[in-house]
Structure 1
């Protein structure tokens, strides 16, 4: 599903055989790049490009990253991911209350709470985390 386009390239959330973490694809017949995005912060980063020998320039990849990071495009990517996958890929990770970030259980941060479940509120444009031992969910406005 198309998120946006840039210089003739389509940035899209694929809907068949997709997997965590949340990401989009963009490319040509010679290369495919994947960019990661999140449901708890507004950062976007390049995940990988295949095949590496056909990788576009660093400037082109950075341009694509910045296009995806634009508020409207990132919102659309999140909405498409949620509607097609129904997961934020956060279950069984942990929320570090002090740092305000998701961490891996391997990091063993004191006070971090397990994310039991999560959902994306498309109308309020926020992420809702259900944390172990917490009586009410944590809402993250995006």
Structure 2
């Protein structure tokens, strides 16, 4: 499903056989790219380009990232992903309550908890985390 366009290229979420992490696709004919986005922060980054030998200029890839990262486009991407895949791809990850982030590598401590479940509310553009071992959940306004 189409999210937006950038210089005639469509940025899309595929509706079949999608998998974590959340990402969008661009099929430019000579090359394909995937861009990761998240349900806990508003950054977008390039995941990969195939074939690498036909990779477009960095300005094109950065432009695609910036386009997908626009608040309305990112909200649409999250809504499509949530409707199609039914996950925010955060379950069983670690949440650091002090830093308010999903750290890359960090053990469970007094300030970190395993995410039991994550639910996205597309109307409010927020994520609700249930943390294992903590009575209070976390609400992330995106």
The interval holding the TM-score normalised by the smaller chain is over 0.9
Q: How many residues align?
A: 141
SS in 2 for 1:80: helix
CA distance in 1, matches of 2:54, 2:63: 17
CA distance in 1, matches of 2:128, 2:61: 31
User: Where does structure 2 lack aligned partners over 5 or more consecutive residues?
Assistant: none
1:20-39 deviations in Å (ceiling 9; x for gaps) = 00000012121111000000
Which TM-score applies when normalising by structure 2? 0.95
User: Where does structure 1 lack aligned partners over 5 or more consecutive residues?
Assistant: none
Please tell me whether residue 70 in structure 1 is matched to residue 66 in structure 2. no
CA distance in 1, matches of 2:120, 2:114: 17
Contact 2:94 2:106 in 1 (8 A): no
Structure 1 consecutive aligned stretches of length 4 or more whose deviation exceeds 6 Å = none
Please tell me whether residue 107 in structure 1 is matched to residue 106 in structure 2. yes
Counterpart of 1:84? Answer: 84
Q: How does 1:1-142 map onto structure 2 within 5 Å?
A: 1-104=1-104, 106-108=105-107, 110=109, 111-142=111-142
SS in 2 for 1:18: coil
1:59-102 deviations in Å (ceiling 9; x for gaps) = 10001100011110000000000000000011110100011101
CA distance in 2, matches of 1:125, 1:107: 27
Contact 2:3 2:13 in 1 (8 A): yes
SS in 2 for 1:107: coil
Which TM-score applies when normalising by structure 1? 0.95
- Please provide the CA RMSD for this pair: 1.1
Alpha-carbon offset, residue 15 of structure 1 = 1.1
